[in-house]
Amino acid sequence: MSEELSKDAKNKRKSIKADDKMDLTRGTILDKVLKFALPLALTSMLQQLFNAADVAVVGKFASAHAMAAVGSNAPVVSLLVNSFVGLSIGANVVISRNIGARNYAKIHRAVHTAMALAISAGVFVAILGNLIAGPIIDILGVPPEVYNYSLKYLRIYFSGMPFIMLYNFESAIFRSNGNTRTPLICLVIGGVLNVAANLFFVIVMGMDVDGVAIATVLSNAVSSMLLLYFLIKERSLIRVRVRLIRFDKASLNNIIKMGVPAALQSMVFSVSNLCVQSAINSLGADVMAASSAAFNIEIFVYFVVNAFSQTCVTFVGQNYGAGEYKRCRLIVRRILMICSLVTLVVSVFVLLTQRNLLTLFTSDPAIIELAVVRISCLMYGELINVVMDNLSGALRGLGKSMLPAISSFVGVCGIRITWVFTGFRIYHTWLSLMIIFPVSWAFTALGITIMYIYTRNRMLPVDES
């Protein structure tokens, strides 16, 4: 490894020069933010559409039981994927801060440690998941007629965990260097393959949930291998050498320190949403259908907010590593401004067109009106979500990943679960349940804002000279 580092040191100046085109520590901010955030938002949107293809194909060409099986596993899949994305943020923060500091040796060790963590954690989850798939299905309360379908789908999905974990960490490595286009391109290629494989396995081969599950694993394998290829061919500081993939203790500790709180925060959101979903189910089938239709529209607005939040992580991380404290402050203000403007435009568009958009999912006027309640409650609160998510990203970029996790645990999970088991039982209405989303965002945003201001004043001193 020392020989490799020696060779790389000779080319360090050349590597840094090649990397300057993606340097986030100098130059204008607006264009870089948009170039970084928009591909991230598009990536999430495409992932949502490709995931919907699984349900659509089995629902159209297999059976209702097969479609129900794919849908019943959605909470587990969401929990896993969100946790992995949260954990990969740790790699993003550590690598981006070292890139800002131009600490080549630490970048090298962090990149290869991230790859080793992705592979080992993916294999561990794949093995463990297959062992506990049955109990998970039991906990979900899946009906007997759907049980075998759900179990088959979940076990195959778990088998693809190494590829899913690898893709998320590889994407984080690229993001840390200011590159969000390459992960998007690889996702598109894998997604198109996913749709084609879905149709082939289900229609041509006569398979059901196993067909779409295998197609998902194959598409994730292709996307992750393509990203690995590009990382190996990369000429900048994040280049990967397969034979050097191994754990570095210091890098691993830093990644876990930053990533585990972010993963826990994602899990908190998922758990609280599962609790809210159980309350939604108590209001009847029409409300369940309305909530599902509304979710498939509102989630695209969240993708926009989340893209800017991840942008904040990388931009603040690189600039803090470079000692550009004044620029860190400016970046947070600019991202808040840009994200607020974009989110406002998208939210107004959704509010103005929501009834037309909802007809894509249902033609029942009663269900549409119920869905409008959920969309309206969330869209009017999205600017609060902008503050909450982006200041969380800023804190993570500064290395304070536990602060937003604690605030989310109290403000999101605590408030929502408390309301479901107290106030909602008294005011058992659809509106009283949906209003808890913006209310919990507001309390959490207030807590995170206080934490950010305190942390900013301590870690980002203003040069008075």
Lookup: tokens for 110: 């962090």
Q: Is 160 helix (H, G, I), strand (E, B) or coil?
A: coil
Q: Hey, CA dihedral for 273, 276, 278, 280, is it positive or negative? A: negative
Question: Residues near 236 by Cβ (< 8 Å), separated by ≥ 6?
Answer: 15, 18, 19, 22, 177
Query: What pLDDT is stored for residue 73 in this prediction?
Result: 67
Q: Mean pLDDT per 10-residue run, the chain (465 residues)? A: 46 42 77 90 83 71 68 69 80 90 91 95 90 80 77 89 92 91 92 89 84 90 95 90 93 90 80 79 80 84 92 93 93 96 95 90 86 93 94 93 88 89 90 93 94 94 63
Q: Give the closest residue to 332 by CA, choosing from 369, 368, 386.
A: 386
Return the number of other C-beta atoms located less than 10 Å from residue 334's C-beta: 18
Query: Hunting for tokens 């500081």 — which residue is that?
Result: 237
Note whether 249 and 116 are within 8 A (CB): no
Lookup: tokens for 180: 């969000």
Residue-range domain boundaries for the chain: 1-11+38-247, 261-457
Taking the mean position of all CA atoms in its chain, how far away is CA 132? 24
Query: What pLDDT is stored for residue 295 in this prediction?
Result: 83
DSSP alpha helix (H) spans, 359-435:
365-379, 382-397, 402-408, 415-421, 423-426, 430-434
Query: What pLDDT is stored for residue 141 in this prediction?
Result: 67
- C-alpha torsion 208→286→415→302, nearest 10: 60
Question: Residues near 449 by Cβ (< 8 Å), separated by ≥ 6?
Answer: 387, 391
DSSP alpha helix (H) spans, 160-248:
161-176, 181-199, 209-233
Query: What pLDDT is stored for residue 69 in this prediction?
Result: 66
Q: Alpha carbon of 189 to those of 84, 165, 291, 304: distances in Å? A: 21, 18, 31, 22
Note whether 440 and 411 are within 8 A (CB): yes
The letter for the amino acid at 3 is E
Question: Residues near 433 by Cβ (< 8 Å), separated by ≥ 6?
Answer: 276, 279, 280, 283, 420, 424
Q: What is the pTM for the complete model shown?
A: 0.83
Query: What pLDDT is stored for residue 317 in this prediction?
Result: 92
Q: Alpha carbon of 269 to those of 31, 222, 316: distances in Å? A: 31, 29, 24
